[in-house]
Structures are given as structure tokens and as C-alpha cells.
């Protein structure tokens, strides 16, 4: 049975790699709730040979701070809209006065001889035969002097302003024919189910492989794709999903990359000054989080004793989870009282030796074993060495 599964995995692996090479040329699309907005506004001024023209048809207003696009008339917006192109004309001087603007929606990221865009929001625009590339937020102005421009004649100054405003939510678009887009209730995340259909199958593996080479899907759930929590989605995730689908593994293993980086981990013993008052050891560690996300730190084994530690997120004190880049302080305290009935002063040179018996703990090479969880799976991290500080003797 296992050989059959291994054979299936080999076949699926070959399929994934061959499929990756075939799909790189596939079209990319934005998520259905997003759109790219760019505009071209042309100002014509100078001296005209014709009668002055007056226009006053400003049809839209875009507010970047409020993330809204308001249109005064019907807008052909749909779930498949990828691009909204704003165009406008302004007149001044003896040419005329006033301005007129309008919007047009496109379902594709490219239109022949007009523009090309990608899912990062970069736009290539054809301006009078010259292709100009603008990244999100970039604005370019070009001015020419001419004797004729689109029906205007004379000594004209024509200024084109192209502005790529980037990617925005469709929920901020308002027009007489558009009702507010309802907020969808998010479905529970299933790790590996990038298609969002509620099951993990070979379709998810193929989608992850395509995502790895740059193909973007409308319904691709990015947060479900990094099954080994390595901080990136790659071909390893696709292979793990394939293994899970055919039954070779029953859970996704977390990447072997370290979850933490130890800045310092110390121990310090202390002794009470009165015989019978006991003593103890204080442990304190400072660590940097390397994993993408850690749900909780459940416990620590030190010297075959188990502790439930105090965990303080120094970077984000209000966060209930640990994220990559967080600085964390972990503390635990061990207390013991020796069975010494006599009352008297305990000499510093004769600290108490008597301690309770140790527990049976897991075997590990190092000073401490930190137990933590990621997506409900219990993992462990070894602290190689604990630095022992000078003991404290209380009077």
C-alpha cells in the first residue's frame, strides 16, 4: 500500500513540475474586490484660431484619503472589472475654459494599443504612440507645442498628466446605479485549502504550484498556502499538499527553520538567609521570533523540570500571538524549601544542597526545551545554553 502511495507521489510530483513550466504564460487577474485606477488629464491652452469653447462636465471625484471614487452617472462596474480609466480635458487661454472628465471600466489588465497592467498595479500606457511605465503612485507630465490637437487649431500648448493611483477596493466606488458592496463573512481557514472549497485535494497543490511561478487566481487564499510555515509559498508547499491528499502524511510539518533566535538566556540561584527559608532559581530568556506566527508558548523543560512560563511580547504587548520580528521575554521561577528544622543564620559558604527529586522529562541536548504551538500543532525549540549568573544570598 505504501509503495502504491509513493508511486502516486512520484507521478504527482512530475505533474506539478511539468505543469509549472506550462502555466507561466497564463493570464493574471486581480481579486474581484480590487481595481487599478489610473487617469490621463490633458490641458490645452495657448492661442486658438477658432472660437473659444466652454465645457463644464466634471463627472467624477477621487479622494485618496477616504479611498472613494464618486461618479455622477451610470458606471458599468462588475465583479470582473480590473481597470478603471479616468480621462479628462481642460481648456484655458483663448482656446476656451472649463473641464470635462469621465470614467471607463475594463475587464482585462491589457487593452491593445492603450495600456498594459500587472497585478502589482504597474501600468504601461500608450501616450500618443509612446509607451510610458508608471508604478503605483507615480505621476508624469509631458508638454508639447503644436498647431493642431483634436480639432483645436492655433499656437497650442498641450500638457498631458498621467497618474497611476494604484490598487483600490471596489467597496469605495459610488455611482447612481451602484449599491454598496456587502462585506462577506470570512470562512474558517483550512491550511492547504487555497481554493476555499472546504477540502484539500490535488487542485490545491496545482494552484500553489501556479502561484509559485507568478500566476494569480481570483479565489486563491494566500494565508492557506504556506503549509509548512516557512514564511513563503513555494513548490515545497505544493508537494506537501499532494502528499497530504494521497495520505502519505496526516498533518503538515512545520519548516525545520528555527522558530526563535536566542539573544540571552540566564539562570540565577538565590538562598534565604535563615535556615529553613529555602531558595530557588530564576530563569529569564530574551528571544527574537523567526517563525511567521506562533500561537502560544505552553511550557519549558529545564534540567528535567517542567515550568509554565511567563511570556511577555516586548514588541507588541497587546498581541495574543507572536509574529516574526517580535522580541519576547520568557521567565520562570523554581522554589524549594529544604527540610532543615533548626532556626538560625545560614552561612554564605554553606548554601543548602537539598532539592526535591526531578521529573521524567523528554531527552534533549541543550539547556532548555521550549514547547510552543503553531496552528494547533505542538513543536519544540532547544535553547543551547543557559548562562549562570552569580548566586544571591539574602541576609
pLDDT at 10 over 60: no
Confidence of residue 7 (pLDDT cuts 50, 70, 90): low
49-85 residue pLDDT tens: 888 777 766 788 888 888 889 888 888 888 889 999 9
Percent of the chain with pLDDT over 90: 22
Which domains are delineated in the chain?
2-28+185-246 (1.10.1330.10), 34-174 (no CATH), 260-393 (no CATH)
Cα 314 from Cα 329, distance rounded (Å): 7
Distances (CA, A) of 188 to 149, 207, 223, 320, 377: 57, 19, 11, 19, 17
Reported pTM? 0.44
- At 257, list the grid cell: 527553520
Cβ partners under 8 Å of residue 372, min gap 6: 259, 294, 295, 296, 297, 298, 378, 379, 380, 381
Query: Helix, strand or coil for residue 116?
Result: strand
Angstrom distance (rounded) from CA 201 to CA 208: 11
- Residue 129 is predicted with a pLDDT of 87
Task: Please report which confidence band the pLDDT of residue 106 belongs to, taking 50, 70 and 90 as the band edges.
Answer: very high
Q: What is the pLDDT of residue 184?
A: 43
Amino acid at each position: 500500500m505504501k509503495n502504491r502511495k509513493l508511486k502516486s507521489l512520484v507521478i504527482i510530483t512530475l505533474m506539478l513540475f511539468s505543469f509549472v513550466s506550462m502555466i507561466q504564460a497564463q493570464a493574471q487577474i486581480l481579486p474581484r474586490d480590487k481595481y487599478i485606477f489610473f487617469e490621463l488629464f490633458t490641458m490645452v491652452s495657448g492661442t486658438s484660431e477658432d472660437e473659444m469653447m466652454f465645457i463644464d462636465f466634471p463627472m467624477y471625484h477621487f479622494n485618496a484619503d477616504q479611498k472613494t471614487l464618486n461618479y455622477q452617472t451610470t458606471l458599468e462596474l462588475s465583479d470582473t472589472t480590473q481597470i478603471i480609466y479616468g480621462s479628462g480635458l481642460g481648456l484655458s487661454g483663448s482656446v476656451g475654459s472649463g473641464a470635462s472628465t469621465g470614467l471607463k471600466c475594463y475587464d482585462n489588465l491589457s487593452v491593445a494599443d492603450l495600456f498594459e497592467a500587472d497585478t502589482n498595479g504597474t501600468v504601461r500606457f500608450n501616450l500618443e504612440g509612446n509607451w510610458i511605465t508608471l508604478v503605483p503612485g507615480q505621476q508624469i507630465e509631458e508638454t508639447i507645442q503644436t498647431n493642431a490637437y483634436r480639432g483645436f487649431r492655433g499656437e497650442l500648448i498641450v500638457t498631458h498628466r498621467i497618474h497611476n493611483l494604484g490598487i483600490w477596493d471596489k467597496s469605495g466606488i459610488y455611482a447612481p446605479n451602484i449599491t454598496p458592496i456587502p462585506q462577506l463573512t470570512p470562512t474558517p481557514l483550512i491550511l492547504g485549502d487555497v481554493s476555499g472549497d472546504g477540502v484539500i485535494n490535488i487542485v490545491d497543490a496545482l494552484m500553489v504550484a501556479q502561484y509559485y511561478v507568478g500566476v494569480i487566481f481570483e479565489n486563491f487564499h494566500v494565508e492557506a498556502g504556506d503549509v509548512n510555515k516557512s514564511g513563503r509559498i513555494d513548490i515545497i508547499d505544493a508537494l506537501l499538499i499532494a502528499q497530504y491528499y494521497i495520505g502519505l502524511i496526516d498533518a503538515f510539518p512545520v519548516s525545520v527553520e528555527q522558530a526563535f533566535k536566542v539573544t540571552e538566556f540566564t539562570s540565577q540561584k538565590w538562598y534565604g538567609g535563615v535556615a529553613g527559608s529555602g531558595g530557588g532559581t530564576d530563569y529569564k530568556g530574551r528571544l527574537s521570533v523567526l517563525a511567521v506566527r506562533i500561537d502560544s508558548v505552553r511550557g519549558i523543560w529545564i534540567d528535567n523540570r517542567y515550568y509554565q512560563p511567563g511570556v511577555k511580547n516586548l514588541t507588541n504587548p497587546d498581541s495574543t500571538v507572536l509574529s516574526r520580528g517580535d522580541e519576547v521575554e520568557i521567565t520562570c521561577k523554581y522554589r524549594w524549601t529544604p527540610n532543615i528544622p533548626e532556626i538560625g543564620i545560614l552561612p554564605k559558604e554553606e548554601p543548602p544542597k537539598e532539592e526535591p527529586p526531578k521529573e521524567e522529562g523528554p531527552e534533549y541536548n541543550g539547556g532548555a526545551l521550549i514547547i510552543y504551538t503553531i496552528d494547533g500543532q505542538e513543536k519544540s525549540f532547544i535553547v543551547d545554553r543557559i548562562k549562570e549568573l552569580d548566586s544571591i544570598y539574602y541576609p
